[in-house]
């Protein structure tokens, strides 16, 4: 375990990725302690789209709200949605992949077909359809839930491949002739071998969850009761920032989304290199 961590820390990709990600987490968690994140506070004096000043580092939006406050609040929501989606997608994916891959036979065939079905259905279309159907009840958690429910198929596929290769290993056969129950075998002899994959899948799902939320919010189908990075972009778009070339309304939010997801991808890729020695240089 310590050796694994040391190997990971040797990879510059991992170090950069984890640093950025921890920074975003710290800002999201502790930012509100140092900086007001009241997204309803409007600075009437500064007015809409005020430029950068000592009071508003990144200026204000069309309602005169401080952009830094909005960004911190948005980052909190985005990470929250990412984690909700990630946990749901990973849990469903691991359960289906593990069950199918380990059991094999027709159960595996059926589950695999089901998984493939979800892979070919365009996730974003479903997301748009459900989001527009649930007009007023769209909360952050609900959006995270929908993203998770439509994104699990990739994790199921990754886990299934691993689980079915484990199925025919000798240590599983030995555990069986030791009289271990299927549940014990899965928990003690299959899951530990899959943990690294599950973790990688989770990181990936959090990243794509953040992206999906940003996209769905950008087109105005995001959560209604709060702000998020996608909603900042959506409101900037709806209130003429694009037409008036007010770039400060777009760029910071876009950068925060990009950096967060980029950091997660860096973590995922570097972990793949460490867990799968064949990919190492």
Partner 1 sequence: MLSDKPVVFSAKRISKDFGAGKTLKTAVKDVSFDIYDEEFISIVGGSGCGKSVLAKIMLGLYKPTRGQFLYRDKPIKNLKAHWNEVQSVFQDPFGCFNQFFTIRSQLEDALNILKDKPSKEEVRRRVDEGLMAVNVKPEDIEGKYPFELSGGQMQRMLLARIFALRPKVLIADEATSMVDACVRANILDYLRKLKDELKMTVVFVTHDIGLANYVSDRIFIMHDGKIVNQGTPAEVLDNTTEPHTLKLLDDIPEVHKTEWIKNSHRSKKG
Binding site for partner 1 (CB under 8 A): 169-171, 173-180, 188-189, 192-193
**In the beta sheet, which residues pair with residue 60?**
66
**Closest C-alpha to 90, from 185, 199, 192:** 199
Instruction: Name the one residue in this structure whose structure tokens are 């040391």.
Output: 6
Residue 69: Cβ-neighbour burial (10 angstroms; 0-12, 13-18, 19+)? buried
Q: Which is nearer to partner 1, 112 or 150 (CB)?
A: 112
For the bound state, the minimum distance from the C-beta of residue 193 to partner 1, rounded and expressed in Å, comes to: 8
Q: Which is nearer to partner 1, 19 or 184 (CB)?
A: 184
Q: Which is nearer to partner 1, 10 or 176 (CB)?
A: 176
154/201 Cα distance (integer angstroms): 8
For the bound state, the minimum distance from the C-beta of residue 175 to partner 1, rounded and expressed in Å, comes to: 7
Residue 113 contacts by C-beta under 8 Å, 6 or more apart in sequence? Answer: none
For the bound state, the minimum distance from the C-beta of residue 149 to partner 1, rounded and expressed in Å, comes to: 32
Q: Which is nearer to partner 1, 122 or 192 (CB)?
A: 192
**Closest C-alpha to 89, from 62, 49, 53, 119:** 119
Q: Which is nearer to partner 1, 138 or 189 (CB)?
A: 189
Q: What angle do CA 260, 156, 219 make, to 5 degrees?
A: 45
For the bound state, the minimum distance from the C-beta of residue 172 to partner 1, rounded and expressed in Å, comes to: 9
Residue 115 contacts by C-beta under 8 Å, 6 or more apart in sequence? Answer: 96, 97, 100, 153, 156, 157, 160
For the bound state, the minimum distance from the C-beta of residue 183 to partner 1, rounded and expressed in Å, comes to: 14
């Amino acid at each position: 375990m310590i050796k694994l961590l040391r190997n990971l820390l040797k990879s510059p990709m991992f170090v950069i990725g984890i640093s950025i990600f921890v920074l975003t987490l710290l800002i999201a968690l502790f930012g509100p302690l140092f900086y007001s994140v009241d997204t309803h506070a409007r600075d009437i004096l500064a007015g809409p789209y005020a430029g950068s000043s000592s009071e508003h580092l990144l200026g204000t939006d069309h309602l005169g709200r401080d952009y830094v406050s909005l960004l911190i609040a948005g980052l909190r929501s985005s990470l929250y949605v990412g984690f909700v989606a990630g946990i749901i997608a990973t849990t469903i994916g691991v359960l289906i992949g593990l069950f199918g891959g380990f059991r094999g036979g027709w159960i595996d065939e059926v589950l695999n077909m089901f998984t493939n079905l979800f892979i070919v259905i365009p996730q974003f279309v479903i997301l748009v359809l459900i989001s527009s159907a649930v007009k007023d009840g769209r909360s952050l958690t609900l959006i995270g839930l929908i993203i998770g429910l439509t994104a699990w198929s990739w994790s199921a596929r990754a886990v299934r491949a691993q689980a079915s290769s484990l199925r025919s290993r000798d240590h599983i056969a030995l555990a069986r002739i030791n009289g271990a129950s299927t549940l014990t075998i899965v928990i003690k002899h299959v899951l530990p071998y899959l943990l690294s994959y599950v973790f990688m899948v989770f990181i990936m799902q959090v990243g794509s969850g953040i992206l999906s939320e940003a996209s769905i919010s950008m087109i105005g189908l995001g959560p209604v009761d709060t702000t998020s990075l996608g909603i900042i972009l959506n409101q900037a778009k709806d209130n003429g920032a694009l037409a008036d070339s007010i770039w400060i309304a777009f760029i910071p939010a876009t950068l925060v989304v990009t950096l967060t997801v980029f950091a997660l991808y860096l973590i995922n890729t570097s972990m793949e290199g460490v867990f799968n020695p064949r990919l190492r240089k």
